[in-house]
Amino acid sequence: MLFDGKHQKTLTKVVAIVAIIAFLGFGLVAGFLAVGGGCGVADPAAQAVSDAQASVQQGKAAVAAATKAVKQSPKSAQAKKDLAQARSDLAKAQITVAQATLAVNRQDPQALASALAAAKTAPDDLDVVLGVVTVATTQNNPAAALPALQAYTARNPKDSQAFAYWGQVAEQAGQRNQAILAYQRFLQLAPDDTLAPDIRNRLAQLSKPVTTTG
């Protein structure tokens, strides 16, 4: 992979946001374990999912109210800002549901469904998109995160780090040509970034002719 061995410190930089997103979900579960452990009243992990789902419902209500406000005052910059914030909050709640669900069952399809819903709610929020990456890779299904990365980079074509993430996920998913294109775009945008040497090495490896044995 791209960021292993002597480049572990660089890897830390690359996956920092992913780790934060993951912490939001698993930290929530850990908090309930700390507070309710041993009381036997309810399963803390299941309670974490329930509470996260309640936050999603609140978030949906806030988005609906903000959407109504924009329709009533379409020229209001504040109303549009409030709607964007409501969508971001809802998406992060959906990611928290996904992460809490993973803590109960790492292969629960609802975890990925919640994460993908979050990406649709806030396609311009890279933290949310990386939350999708976290869930998809945890379930050994990195390809499921590619559409969210593609949508994000289409809307944010100058975000070099997003292309680095995209390239790595595409490589994990076995999408060689897609990884090459993403890495090339990263180097166009950030040729002097600290990740650039690693990515050039990966490009060199990926660009070699595929050999078959038989």
Q: Which residue from 117, 119, 124 is spatially nearest to 84, judged by alpha carbons?
A: 124
Whole-number pLDDT of residue 42: 65
d(CA 161, CA 156): 11
162-198 core/surface letters (b: 16 or more CB in 10 A; e: else): bbbbbbbbbbbbebeebbbebbebbbebbeebebbeb
Domains with residue ranges and CATH for the chain:
5-206 (1.25.40.10)
pLDDT tens by residue, the chain, 214 residues? 444 443 333 333 444 434 433 434 444 334 433 444 444 546 898 899 999 999 999 999 999 999 999 999 999 999 999 999 999 999 999 999 999 999 999 999 999 999 999 999 999 999 999 999 999 999 999 999 999 999 999 999 999 999 999 999 999 999 999 999 999 999 999 999 999 999 999 999 998 876 655 5
Stated pTM of the model: 0.76
Q: What is the pLDDT of residue 146?
A: 97
pLDDT of residue 213: 56
Write b or e for each residue in 101-132: b if 16 or more Cβ atoms lie within 10 A of its Cβ, otherwise e.
bbbeeeebeebbebbbbbbebbbebbbbbbbb
Q: Return the pLDDT at 92.
A: 95
